[in-house]
């Protein structure tokens, strides 16, 4: 029964095979043929194979039947045949031995495959080989590249006469951990990750799989196909992810603000160095969740799945490890994806340094105001003293002088008190604080404008002015209005003295690589100029200099009877 089933199975397979099959004896008489053979050549019973396939009475020249009977080795030849309609086809004919029970060749099977069918499969293979999105090459046992697909050549360059390790790795010797070496030795499919160098010198990351595709008569692998899956972009993405992980990790760890985070299960994940400092924790190991609960608001540990709006920065206090209350700014918010909440973060700013700085600034301002207004009081006392002396002199002159002398004294008194009042007002203005608007100023142009202004102002006063400008074009960054006030207080301070002593004021600019200067040179013919080392006018200039970021310097040159007042800009 089993024999019968087997016979039926073989018969069905034989008949339905898609190519022509005939079985012949030693006389080349067809003793069996399938349906495909009969459809092409007709009734075959008692006919020779060459009669049916070539319509001839003599055996074919390329026929391998007798050779297979003698050797018992299959043979393959390319041949042609003529069907019932007289059409010629070109075929690949495979002659295979069929043995009897004693191991002798009893029959030979002729399997005829149309050449166009073979070409079809070959074309499909070539198309797949060239267009598959992998680097593919075929190498022999000496690692010579026999063939490579388009993508491999486009990526790694010319392969002609080169070995695989020369093309893939730019090496002169076999790679360590080479899958192909293992495949040649074991005949097994092998894989490993590799790093190659492209024709442009860039690194290429790929997963290499070596597959045996050809064997010699002893069954040894003589050719392998190396299939390389490009993972360069995946590797780049991994490197970017690693970089971002390290970048944000360092950013969090070195942040000046304390950052604390828990995951959705309430487990503490981040407790950076700033948090350790705020909570006065000496241990390098971050605290446990129970310790953190004692130091942070309970709202931080409420159910994360609960919907809650982020808390804006609020001023509050927290308790450190020593149970001290610390003033802080605190912000709490949840980290979310589109579908779920991943965790919760607290950002804490320690307000102690800010409070200390504000207190220090307030104290410094208080001290500065005391010193500045002490200057006003001192200067005002001296002025009142001078005014008493002046009024005493005025009274004496008034008794003995004409009305012309009275007018002269009165005008002098008026000018002096008016100038002092103007300088006092400026001092109070800057001592209280002024918002400066700095801009780029051409210092030569500024000096020339001031020179022209005061030249016109003192045209009939007898005060002489001079101008000496740098050949360069010095440019400074300062508030122009406050700079004008500096010049004003200097001129008002010395105006009466210059008028009485036939003096002059020279505006001079200097430029060098390290600094720029505006000099106001006060010079008299006979008497030395008094030093500019105290008083209200000096206080005004000092405040303006500090606000604008320039330095203020005076230099008395006795031999020239000159006082040089310098505004120095870096």
Q: Is residue 197 part of a domain?
A: yes
220 and 146 fall within a common domain: yes
The pLDDT of residue 1 is: 44
473 and 514 fall within a common domain: yes
The pLDDT of residue 2 is: 47
Domain boundary among 407, 432, 457: 432
Taking only the tens place, the pLDDT of each residue in 58-85 is 888 778 889 989 988 888 888 888 888 8
Angle at 279 (CA atoms; ends 277, 285), nearest 5 degrees: 70
Q: Strand, coil or helix: what is 202?
A: coil
365 and 342 fall within a common domain: no
Low-confidence ranges of the chain (pLDDT < 70): 1-11, 13, 117-123, 283-284, 303-313, 362, 365-419, 421, 432-433, 495-497, 499-502, 533-534
Q: What is the pTM of this model?
A: 0.36
What range defines the domain where residue 327 resides?
255-348
Question: Nearest to residue 49, comparing CAs of 20, 86, 6, 7?
Answer: 20
74 and 37 fall within a common domain: yes
Number of H helices, E strands in the chain: 16, 22
Q: Is residue 247 part of a domain?
A: no
49 and 102 fall within a common domain: yes
Taking only the tens place, the pLDDT of each residue in 463-497 is 788 999 988 888 888 889 888 888 888 877 776 66
Domain boundary among 323, 348, 373: 348
193 and 265 fall within a common domain: no
Count of domains for the chain: 5
Q: Are 563 and 532 in contact, with CB atoms under 8 Å apart?
A: yes
Domain boundary among 119, 143, 169: 119
Kindly provide the b/e burial profile for residues 318-332, where b requires at least 16 CB atoms within 10 angstroms of the residue's own CB.
beebeeeebebbbeb
The pLDDT of residue 379 is: 65
User: What CATH number does the domain containing 550 carry?
Assistant: 3.30.565.10
Q: Is residue 493 part of a domain?
A: yes
104 and 154 fall within a common domain: no
Taking only the tens place, the pLDDT of each residue in 257-290 is 888 888 888 788 888 888 888 888 876 677 777 7
335 and 381 fall within a common domain: no
Q: Is residue 353 part of a domain?
A: no
302 and 390 fall within a common domain: no
The pLDDT of residue 122 is: 65
Question: Sign of dihedral through CA atoms 249, 255, 260, 264?
Answer: negative
Q: Is residue 240 part of a domain?
A: no
Q: Is residue 6 part of a domain?
A: no
Q: Is residue 106 part of a domain?
A: yes
- The helix or strand, by DSSP H or E, that contains position 427, with its residue range, turns out to be helix 403-432
Q: Is residue 127 part of a domain?
A: no
| C-alpha dist (Å) from residue 429 to 142, 457, 482, 486, 492 | 93, 24, 11, 13, 17
449 and 490 fall within a common domain: yes
448 and 532 fall within a common domain: yes
Spatial separation of the C-alpha atoms in residues 142 and 130, rounded to whole Å: 24
Angle at 41 (CA atoms; ends 38, 47), nearest 5 degrees: 90
């Amino acid at each position: 029964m089993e024999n019968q089933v087997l016979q039926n199975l073989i018969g069905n397979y034989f008949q339905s095979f898609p190519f022509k099959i005939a079985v012949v004896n030693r006389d080349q008489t067809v003793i069996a043929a399938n349906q495909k053979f009969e459809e092409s050549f007709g009734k075959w019973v008692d006919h020779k194979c060459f009669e049916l396939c070539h319509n001839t009475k003599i055996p074919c020249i390329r026929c391998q039947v007798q050779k297979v009977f003698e050797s018992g080795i299959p043979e393959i030849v390319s041949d042609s045949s003529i069907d019932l309609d007289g059409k010629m086809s070109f075929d690949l004919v495979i002659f295979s031995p069929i043995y009897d029970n004693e191991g002798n060749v009893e029959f030979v099977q002729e399997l005829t495959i149309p050449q166009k069918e073979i070409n079809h499969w070959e074309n499909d293979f070539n198309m797949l080989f060239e267009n598959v999105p992998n680097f593919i090459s075929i190498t022999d046992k000496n690692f010579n590249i026999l063939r490579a697909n388009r993508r491999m050549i486009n990526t790694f360059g010319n392969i002609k006469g080169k070995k695989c390790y020369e093309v893939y790795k730019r090496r002169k010797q076999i790679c360590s951990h080479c899958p192909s070496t293992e495949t040649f030795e074991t005949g097994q499919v092998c894989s490993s990750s590799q790093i190659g160098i492209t024709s442009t010198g860039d690194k290429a990351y790929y997963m290499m799989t070596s597959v045996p595709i050809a064997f010699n008569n002893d069954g040894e692998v003589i050719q392998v196909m190396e299939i390389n899956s490009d993972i360069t972009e995946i590797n780049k993405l991994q490197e970017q992810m690693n970089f971002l992980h390290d970048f944000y990790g360092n950013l969090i760890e070195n942040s000046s603000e304390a950052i604390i985070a828990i995951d959705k299960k309430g487990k503490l994940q981040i407790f950076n160095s700033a948090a350790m400092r705020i909570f006065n924790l000496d241990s390098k190991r971050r605290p446990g969740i129970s310790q953190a609960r004692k130091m942070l608001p309970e709202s931080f540990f409420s159910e994360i799945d609960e919907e809650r709006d982020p808390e804006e920065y609020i001023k509050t206090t927290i308790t450190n490890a020593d149970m001290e209350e610390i003033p802080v700014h605190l912000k709490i918010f949840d980290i979310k994806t589109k579908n779920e909440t991943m965790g919760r973060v607290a950002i804490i700013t320690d307000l102690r340094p800010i409070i200390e700085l504000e207190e220090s600034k307030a104290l410094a301002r208080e001290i500065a105001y005391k010193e500045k207004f002490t200057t006003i009081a001192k200067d005002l006392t001296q002025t009142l003293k001078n005014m008493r002396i002046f009024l005493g002199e005025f009274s004496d002159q008034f008794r003995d002088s004409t009305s012309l002398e009275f007018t002269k004294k009165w005008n002098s008194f008026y000018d002096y008190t008016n100038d002092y009042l103007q300088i006092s007002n400026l001092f109070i203005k800057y001592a209280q604080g002024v918002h400066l608007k700095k801009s780029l100023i051409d210092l030569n142009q500024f000096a020339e404008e001031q020179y022209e202004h005061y030249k016109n102002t003192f045209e009939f006063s007898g005060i002489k002015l001079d101008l000496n400008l740098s050949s360069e074009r010095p440019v400074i960054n300062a508030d122009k209005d406050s700079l004008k006030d500096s010049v004003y207080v200097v001129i008002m301070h010395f105006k009466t003295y210059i008028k009485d002593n036939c003096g002059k004021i020279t505006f001079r600019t200097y430029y060098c690589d390290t600094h720029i200067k505006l000099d106001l040179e006060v010079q008299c013919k006979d008497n030395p100029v008094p030093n500019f080392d105290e008083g209200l006018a000096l206080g005004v200039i000092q405040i303006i200099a500090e606000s604008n970021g320039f330095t203020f310097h005076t230099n008395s040159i006795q031999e020239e009877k000159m006082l040089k007042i310098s505004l120095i800009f870096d």
